[in-house]
Amino acid sequence: VTFSIDQFEVGGKVAVVTGAGGRGNSIGRAYALGLAKAGATVVVADINAAGAGAVADEIVSAGGKAIAIAADITLPESVKAMAKRAADSFGGVDILVNNAALMVELGYQPAAEVPIADWNRLMAVNVTGALNCVQAVVPMMRARGGGKIVNQVSGGAFPAMSLYGVSKLALTGLTTLLARQLGRDNINVNAIAPGNVTSDAGKQLTPDDSPFIKLLEATVAMRVRGQPDELVGALLLLCSNAGSWITGQTLHVDGGWVLRP
């Protein structure tokens, strides 16, 4: 047996986490801190430059390695500049976590009436934004002999119960396509589908007394709401050698909300 527990570590790897610098208690922040604790050098990327700076500072104060980069993932030039800065600073990119998304801001209008500009914006961030990041870092991953891509989707896409869910289902489709197309480059591509998480954004969207939480209380097997930290174990599995043979999968981390055989 060659397995050892340190296969879950990502020491020496360079990880880009998008959307890691937004609202205070965000999932991206938990991902960035978790990857740093597991040994990675983390690029904290967000459209919110001050927020990204705060999370990078938090990592550095805890003894980790991180830089903040302001980037708008909808703009290919901005994303290319982000990837170039990551490569100039640390020699390349090994891990990409496509976590940035619109969730609170957009995605819950009725499909039959949504202004097409809102639909286009939702897809530009949640789907095209992830693809822009993939296009910028895949050449760097190939140059380093492989890599890991994790796309943040949502239990709300199984089935899609909102326009937001549609955008996350599209990102799930992109996950399986990329897994097939990049497998021989030794690039694993997977998705994490969280349930209802008590990030600041999650609490704003669905307060504890909201009808959606009541609905989930009737169906979720274990516990309706999870902390951002409870997603980090799944991320490390998918970003480390421990998950070397896992690709094209969606890992549901949701207390038993979406049960898939």
Given the rule CB under 6 A, which residues bind ligand NAD? 18-19, 21-23, 26-28, 46-48, 71-74, 99-104, 125, 129, 152, 154, 194, 196-197, 199, 201-202
Contact between 247 and 183 under an 8 Å Cβ cutoff? The reply is yes
What angle do helix axes 129-143 and 163-182 make, rounded to 10 degrees? 20
Closest approach of ligand NAD to the CB of residue 154, in Å: 4
Identity of the residue, 9 or 230, whose beta carbon is nearer to ligand NAD in the bound complex:
230
DSSP 78-141: HHHHHHHHHHHHHS--SEEEE----SSSS--S-TTT--HHHHHHHHIIIIIHHHHHHHHHHHHH
Task: Measure CA of the first residue to CA of the last residue in the chain; give whole Å.
Answer: 29
Single-letter code of the amino acid located at 207: P
Closest approach of ligand NAD to the CB of residue 252, in Å: 10
Identity of the residue, 9 or 46, whose beta carbon is nearer to ligand NAD in the bound complex:
46
Residue nearest to ligand NAD (CB): 22
The H-assigned helical ranges of 147-227 are: 163-182, 200-205, 211-217
Per annotation, catalytic residue among 31, 90, 158, 164: 164
Contacts of 179 (CB under 8 A, 6+ apart): 188, 189, 190, 247, 248
Identity of the residue, 94 or 254, whose beta carbon is nearer to ligand NAD in the bound complex:
254
Residue 74: strand pairing partners = none
> Is 164 part of the annotated catalytic residue set?
yes
Contacts of 120 (CB under 8 A, 6+ apart): none
Closest approach of ligand NAD to the CB of residue 220, in Å: 13
Closest approach of ligand NAD to the CB of residue 237, in Å: 17
Single-letter code of the amino acid located at 58: E
Identity of the residue, 148 or 252, whose beta carbon is nearer to ligand NAD in the bound complex:
252
Closest approach of ligand NAD to the CB of residue 49, in Å: 10
Identity of the residue, 48 or 162, whose beta carbon is nearer to ligand NAD in the bound complex:
48
In angstroms, the CA 160 to CA 177 distance is 19
Catalytic annotation, residues: 164
